[in-house]
Amino acid sequence: MPPTVPSPVLGPLDRLRNPPVSPHPPPEARLRSRRRLRACHECDWVMALPPLKAGEQADCVRCGHDLVKRHAFPAQRSLALAIASLVALATAVSFPFISFNARGVGNQIEVTQTAVQMLEHHQPIVAMMVLLSVFVLPAVYLLSVVWLQLSLMLPRRLPYSRTTARGLSHIAPWLMADVFIVGTMVSLIKVAGLADIGLGIAFWTFIAYALLLLATTLSLDSDWLWFSLTGEPPAPEGVRTGQTAASQGMTGCHTCGLIGRIDEHGHGRCERCGEKLHARRPKSLQRTWALLVTAAVLYIPANLYPIMYTTSLGDESPQTIIGGVIYLVSHGSWPVALVIFVASVIVPIGKLLALTWLCIVAPRAPGLRSLTRARLYRLTELIGRWSMVDVFVVSILVALIRAGALMSITPGPASLAFGGVVIVTMLAAMSFEPRLLWDGDSDEDMPFAADSDATIDEQGRTP
């Protein structure tokens, strides 16, 4: 028997030179004796997560939905990005954002004035949309990330860590700093032919903030985060892979991913994060239909009424969404006109039609087209928030162009209606239950069902 080699003893200087990079290894390194089960959020298929290395991800074998994506040094990566984002945000709100000068009359604004000016023009709801989606919710999200990663790196968990982690998934869809950047670019192109534009320090730091915020959201490894916070209880006894969770009286938690058992009424509570569990979202189709009808009604005044009024040399002219597109085309700004047309016309109408079609076909036989419908649903979720570009354009121009009768822009009633369309369609996509698209498929129709089928015992192991 070879002699045992003692571990080297590190002195204080060695610890400074080689600090531990992460006190929490990935779940695969700590649970070698049992498989970790997941039920896909989009098709309800039960499968076991494979061991993952940094840079690898696990996708659902049935619908291709991303289940887990592993990152190297997840706590340090997310913490560094979140702190950098907060610094960039603090800088962006403290310095001049954009300035303009036309005929000897100029104005300089800070980025927060885009919300303040909408409030002064009696548009409090639109002002709240801008303030929450660009500043408040991103700041709350970043502070939550910092709190959680510090909690994981300290010897003891900070209070409210589990509640904070639950809130991240609910806040993430409403972060729109990157959409605001596109709105800023469109606004600058619109004004460039009328005045001289100056870009302040805050303009560049806001771009950095938007990119860092996006990188922070992409860096979060929620599977690793929840395992490091609270561990992972064994899977319910008797659960089988290669089948749907609903057929076994179970479901997957949308917040932490843990698979759990539900009662005969299709309800339960996650053992790990405490979220409510449902076999399917209660009254999903009814809620989605109601929201779609509301969005369709709001879309009519959003296009009929002016979204803003432009005053030049005392002459006030209204401008609708389509009118703005025509104006840009007539002035040779084809790329910008295309962006506005796609974001403000194609995307809202396309999302309304897509969700309406999904609501119609969801209770009917999905057959082999379930994957196509699932991809359509993912697309509606992905593109929905980009329609806010036009709302941000109005808020930026209203704050920037303020020269009285010489040159000024004021918001029109359509800005509120169109902002409502964007928010309501996003809520409609969130309320839709994508697992309904797969409920007509039988487990036997899946070519890999027999290969992946295995029973899990009470310790979560495969016999």
d(CA 336, CA 348): 18
Residue 432 within a domain:
yes
Query: Tens digits of per-residue pLDDT, 398-435?
Result: 888 876 666 788 899 999 999 999 999 999 999 999 98
Residue 171 within a domain:
yes
Residue 430 within a domain:
yes
Residue 27 within a domain:
no
d(CA 160, CA 156): 12
Structure tokens at 339: 């962006």
| Residue 33: predicted pLDDT | 55
Residue 98 within a domain:
yes
Q: How far, CA to CA in Å, does 71 sit from each of 58, 192, 225, 320, 388?
A: 12, 42, 11, 46, 31
Alpha helices in 269-346 (DSSP H): 284-304, 321-330, 334-341
| Residue 13: predicted pLDDT | 39
Question: What stretches in the chain show pLDDT beneath 70?
Answer: 1-25, 28-34, 103-104, 193, 313-314, 365-368, 403-406, 440-463
d(CA 426, CA 42): 17
Query: Which DSSP category does 279 fall into?
Result: S
- Tell me the sheet residues that pair with 316: 311
Which range marks the domain in which residue 383 is found? 74-225+282-436
| Residue 1: predicted pLDDT | 44
| Residue 426: predicted pLDDT | 93
Residue 275 within a domain:
no
Domain count, the chain: 1
Residue 199, H or E segment:
strand 196-199
Residue 322 within a domain:
yes
Residue 24 within a domain:
no
Structure tokens at 395: 């808020």
| Residue 138: predicted pLDDT | 96
Closest CA to 338 of 329, 349, 351, 327: 329
